[in-house]
Structure 1
Amino acid sequence: MNVTHTGFDRLPVVDVSGLYSDSLDARLATARVLDRAARDAGFFYVTGHQVTRAQQVTLVDQAKQFFRAPEAWKMRYYIGNSRAHRGYVPEGEEVFAGGKRDRKEAFDTGADLSPDDPLVQAGTPLLGPNVWPDQSGFDHAVTDYYQAAMALGRVLFRGFSLALGLPETYFERYLSTPPSQLRLIHYPHDATAADAPGIGAHTDYECFTILMPTAPGLEVMNGDGVWIDAPPVDNAFVVNIGDMLEAWTGGTYVATSHRVRKVSEERYSFPLFFACDYATVVAPLPAFATPEALEQYPPVAAGDHLFAQTAQSFTYLKQRIERGELVLPDGSKALASFGQQARYAAVDE
């Protein structure tokens, strides 16, 4: 149970350049700052990373070109036609807790696995080949950025390991073929959207998220249940704790609820949802396995949780469940079961 989640009024900033150092002391010092940000806010800016500006700019340019295309062309790549949950997500496809349809469109990608990959052959949900639109340079830009963001995620996980008093490589055993998703998201300009949700309040289902936004709109719920703005910072990523790291730490790190509102200017957003391997069983680590934590966070397969949450928020997957083509894993949690959103259910979303 998190007892340090504070009533912060701005996101902390963590310079992670020390995690790349050859000095263990430097890495430990950075890990302590990372730990405090994860405990106090669960949401923070990351600077000192090694994702280049060129990789960021190229991805944004490709996304702008794609989303400006005619809707009929984009729907050729509709996610509902993919077997691995990849492709175009039209506006209104996602519905989060509370039943609000989102004012956004997206394009979902991940590790581009061959159909011959053993995990794909076994029918593992959310793993498989990407869907690539017929747009010059799109696949290269997405793949290049994805690999760079995943490399940053592995560095952050080593920092979390040190912060939690674990061997630095502790989590790497769970990162062989994770269903980590990169989303390209477009929030269209809407002059009337002064107080309208762009994406409903939620936590992220994976371990943590590495976000690159181009404009304001993101809001984060602090420890007092108050929504605060989290505007972009130049060449900094927004990182937030997800459900699985909350469970691993028995609630010591909190999966902080967030939403997008007031999208009064065109906005692009690029979250990399850093997951662990599908079959990873997540439960409070020994240092956090109090009776209260063990009761609140029973063991869960990380992939089953991710799939269940995804299936409950995407319209095409909910329709497959209604038709009996899909079945949620046993013990699946309802949407919004993690983070302080669940604790402040009465707060207007």
Structure 2
Amino acid sequence: MATLKPIDLSGLDDERLASSVRAQIAEACEKNGFFQIINHGVPVELMDKLKEVGRKFFDMPEEEKLVYAGKPVLAAEGYGSRMVLTDSEPQFWREFVELHTLPLSERHYNYWPQKPAEFNETVEKYTAALMDLAHRLLSVISENLGLKPTYLKEAMGVTQQSIVFQCYPPCPEPGKTLGLPAHSDIGGITVLMQEGDGLQVAAANDTWELVPNHPNAFVVNLADQIEIITNGRYKSANHRAIVNSDSTRRSYVTFYYPAKDQKIIPAPELVDAKIGPLYRELYYLEYLQALAAGRAKDKRLVQSFAINNPLIT
């Protein structure tokens, strides 16, 4: 697996460095679908403010957080908590708040915490900055594939975005659970800010590589719909979160994904004429329904949408 040393995104604005930065992003997308970025244009003060309101919320008494409790439905929102220890299959050890931020019509403010007082304003400013960053990254990735800069953005349709605040408290027996079990993200592109080590990405020989926590960096990972659109050229990677018995870890994850009625198809420009498409056409709602139904528990969900082809692994 390639190193997860951060890529300095400011180099994109320097014609002497831009080609090297693009090449670094292309290599990361080809090899593991994960990379870290620094000097990305999102103000550090805004990043710190989001961490602050997240910490303040999770530090509130449980009864105050439960005011914003969500329901376990297909498009979950609100506060939730799940702490499970088991001697068999790894479960969850985290509490979280999930909020839909785009489109504006799907902002359900009844799930948005009113404490601390600056929570909503901070989330709105932060997610706007992250949306700009996601579009910039998608433009670079599109061009690296020989596509027009807006290809991936247009391929996913009307902009959809959500943010999840995650808190992983100290666990008395960390060997019996995970913060989040292994999975690949189901949408388009994910941008994560973490406080503390604990994120791992699947590496060779069924091992896991820790994603180091670099100051003021974002972790970027490609999700399943990008794998389908790129016809398997870029793959979404499995990742997970581990916990420990000594300290609390937090992360702030922003997801960019297709609209439910968006048709997802492999880009014709990336389909080999002799081999053909590796994935079938689908509507994103189908993908959400397959996830809810627990399809493909023993392999990545995206594989269940593959056309019978020995090249899909």
TM-score range, shorter chain: 0.7 to 0.9
Q: 1:127-183 CA deviation, whole Å, 9 max, x = no partner?
A: 442422221111011111111111110110011111110111223334664332110
List runs of 5+ in structure 2 lacking aligned partners: 304-313
Instruction: Give the counterpart of 2:123 among 117, 142, 146.
Output: 142
TM-score, structure 1 normalization? 0.76
Letter matched to residue 157 of structure 1: L
TM-score, structure 2 normalization? 0.84
Residues 179 and 278, structure 1, Cα contact 8 Å, conserved in 2? no
Counterpart of 1:106 in structure 2 is: 96
SS at match of 2:48: helix
- Give me the whole-angstrom Cα distance separating, in 1, the residues matched to 2:14 and 2:156: 22
SS at match of 1:278: coil
Asked if 1:255 corresponds to 2:236, the answer is yes
- Give me the whole-angstrom Cα distance separating, in 1, the residues matched to 2:175 and 2:263: 42
Counterpart of 1:133 in structure 2 is: 113
Asked if 1:42 corresponds to 2:21, the answer is no
SS at match of 1:197: coil
- Give me the whole-angstrom Cα distance separating, in 1, the residues matched to 2:74 and 2:188: 23
Asked if 1:336 corresponds to 2:300, the answer is yes
Counterpart of 1:14 in structure 2 is: 7
| Distance change in 2, residues 1:11/1:29 (3 Å) | closer
- Give me the whole-angstrom Cα distance separating, in 1, the residues matched to 2:145 and 2:112: 39
Q: More deviation in 221-230 or 158-167? A: 221-230
| Distance change in 2, residues 1:194/1:108 (3 Å) | same
Residues 243 and 338, structure 1, Cα contact 8 Å, conserved in 2? yes
SS at match of 1:211: strand
Give the C-alpha shift of residue 15 in structure 1: 1.9
| Distance change in 2, residues 1:112/1:300 (3 Å) | closer
Q: 1:258-300 CA deviation, whole Å, 9 max, x = no partner?
A: 1111433201101111213333222221233246562x41112
Letter matched to residue 302 of structure 2: F
Give the C-alpha shift of residue 301 in structure 1: 1.7
- Give me the whole-angstrom Cα distance separating, in 2, the residues matched to 1:71 and 1:105: 11
- Give me the whole-angstrom Cα distance separating, in 2, the residues matched to 1:198 and 1:292: 40
- Give me the whole-angstrom Cα distance separating, in 2, the residues matched to 1:246 and 1:280: 16
Counterpart of 1:206 in structure 2 is: 187
SS at match of 2:37: strand
Instruction: Give the counterpart of 1:31 among 8, 18, 22.
Output: 22
Residues 156 and 264, structure 2, Cα contact 8 Å, conserved in 1? no
Counterpart of 1:76 in structure 2 is: 67
- Give me the whole-angstrom Cα distance separating, in 2, the residues matched to 1:36 and 1:14: 11
Counterpart of 1:302 in structure 2 is: 284
List runs of 5+ in structure 1 lacking aligned partners: 1-6, 118-126, 314-331, 340-349
Letter matched to residue 225 of structure 2: M
Asked if 1:284 corresponds to 2:263, the answer is no
Asked if 1:230 corresponds to 2:221, the answer is no
SS at match of 2:213: coil
| Distance change in 2, residues 1:110/1:233 (3 Å) | same
RMSD between superposed Cα atoms in Å = 2.9
Give the C-alpha shift of residue 77 in structure 1: 0.9
Counterpart of 1:163 in structure 2 is: 144
Asked if 1:275 corresponds to 2:268, the answer is no
Counterpart of 1:266 in structure 2 is: 248
* Stretches (4+) displaced over 6 A: none
Letter matched to residue 44 of structure 2: R
- Give me the whole-angstrom Cα distance separating, in 2, the residues matched to 1:183 and 1:245: 20
Residues 207 and 274, structure 1, Cα contact 8 Å, conserved in 2? yes
- Give me the whole-angstrom Cα distance separating, in 1, the residues matched to 2:39 and 2:233: 25
Residues 26 and 144, structure 2, Cα contact 8 Å, conserved in 1? yes
> Matched residue pairs, number?
296
- Give me the whole-angstrom Cα distance separating, in 2, the residues matched to 1:177 and 1:99: 37
| Distance change in 2, residues 1:107/1:36 (3 Å) | same
SS at match of 1:171: helix
SS at match of 1:160: helix
Q: 1:66-88 CA deviation, whole Å, 9 max, x = no partner?
A: 11122222122111189963210
More strand by share: 2
Letter matched to residue 137 of structure 2: L
Counterpart of 2:44 in structure 1 is: 53
